[in-house]
Amino acid sequence: MITIFTALYPEAKELIRALSLKKDMTQNHFQVFSDENNQIQIVITGASAIAAATAVAECSTRREPDSGDFLINYGSCAGRKNIPVGTVSLCNKLTQTVDGRTFYPDILYRHPFEEAELYSFPAVQDRESFQQFLDKDAGAGDRRKEILVDMEAAAIYQAGNYYYAPHQMLFLKVVTDHGTTQEPQSAGSGEHFSQIMDRAAEEVLTFIRQLLTMQEKNSRQESMQEAFRSQVEEQAKLWQEALHGSETMKAQIRQMILYHSLCEAKEASGKQTMSGWYREYEQAGRLPAKDKREGKRILEELRARVL
């Protein structure tokens, strides 16, 4: 599953519409929107670090993420003037300004976005404070450095780190201003804010759909691998019983089956399979073996044929 955490509904509404997500009425503390197949959900956390971290913890406890799941923090941010309004950035470094702690999400996937550093403040910064921060802390010696500011990302990373690996957490931010104090809900600013987020959503949706496709492919591969492991286990047990073998012998047979299968796949030479050898011994009247001693003799023959 992909879980997207956003602070405000206007940030997420175009994603909700485009992905045909429906509100989950069983959720009491946060607004949650999900699809019919439980492949993706969007959680509206509220605009604060504590609210965002609480939402991550609650959703991750309700449904424990597995190794193929993703956490995405998506939303608006302030950016340096060299970053145009509407730019979507993938954050490769997060800094919590209260204590200076820094976090580095692992970016292992191809993406179309600019990469930027993000600083999470405990409260909205006015223009003067934002500029002072850029001049003093973030911009020394490099005025072109791409710097973003928000309130929630560092907290989401820290909460998510209990449930997700660093490569499973992605932080996508849209620059909606350059350090103003306007809020999306204030008079005259809401419509402009929504337009910026709606335009950015198209690019983000393409990336999200790529992640969904990758998840589906990985899921199919895992199913195939699980089916293969089951077949190997069944075949190893069949040989063990026919050879009057111990658990140690069963483990040896399992390894031979795996090795022989890999050699077959690599060479594509049409060699006889372990199942074929079983039928061969069976037709010759040697399986099931008369006793454990005969079983060990056949096991040595098998080892010589495989290796």
Q: Where are the domains of the chain?
A: 2-218, 243-306
Q: Say which residue, 9 or 188, is predicted with more confidence.
A: 9
- CA-closest candidate to residue 59, choices 88, 86, 29: 29
Quick check: 136 pLDDT over 70?
no
Position 228 scores a pLDDT of 86
Asked which of 14-18, 112-116, 129-133 is least confident by mean pLDDT, the reply is 129-133
With b meaning 16 or more CB within 10 Å and e meaning fewer, what string describes 14-42? bbbeebebeeeeebeebbbbbbeeeebbb
Q: How much is the average pLDDT of 174-180?
A: 87
Q: Say which residue, 109 or 51, is predicted with more confidence.
A: 51
Q: Strand, helix or coil at 74?
A: strand
Quick check: 260 pLDDT over 70?
yes
CB 73 within 8 A of CB 146: no
With b meaning 16 or more CB within 10 Å and e meaning fewer, what string describes 72-90? bbbbbbbbbeebeeebbbb
Q: How much is the average pLDDT of 165-193?
A: 78
Position 19 scores a pLDDT of 93
Quick check: 56 pLDDT over 60?
yes
Average pLDDT value for the chain: 87
188 dihedral zone (left: phi>0; alpha: psi -120 to 50; beta): left
CB 295 within 8 A of CB 249: yes
Report the distance separating Cα 203 and Cα 275, nearest Å.
51
Quick check: 245 pLDDT over 70?
yes
Asked which of 13-22, 133-142, 171-180, 204-213 is least confident by mean pLDDT, the reply is 133-142
For the chain, give the percent of residues with pLDDT over 70. 91
Mean pLDDT is highest, among 51-55, 81-85, 134-138, for: 51-55
Report the distance separating Cα 235 and Cα 238, nearest Å.
5
What phi and psi values does residue 25 have, to the nearest 5 degrees?
-80, -5
**DSSP 8-state assignment for residue 257:** H
pTM as predicted: 0.72
Position 267 scores a pLDDT of 57
Position 38 scores a pLDDT of 85
User: How would residue 132 be classed by pLDDT, with cut points 50, 70 and 90?
Assistant: confident
So what CATH class is 2-218?
alpha beta
192-196: long-range contacts, CB 8 A cutoff, minimum separation 24: 193/10, 193/76, 194/10, 194/13, 196/76, 196/85, 196/86
Mean pLDDT is highest, among 152-161, 189-198, 249-258, 264-273, for: 152-161
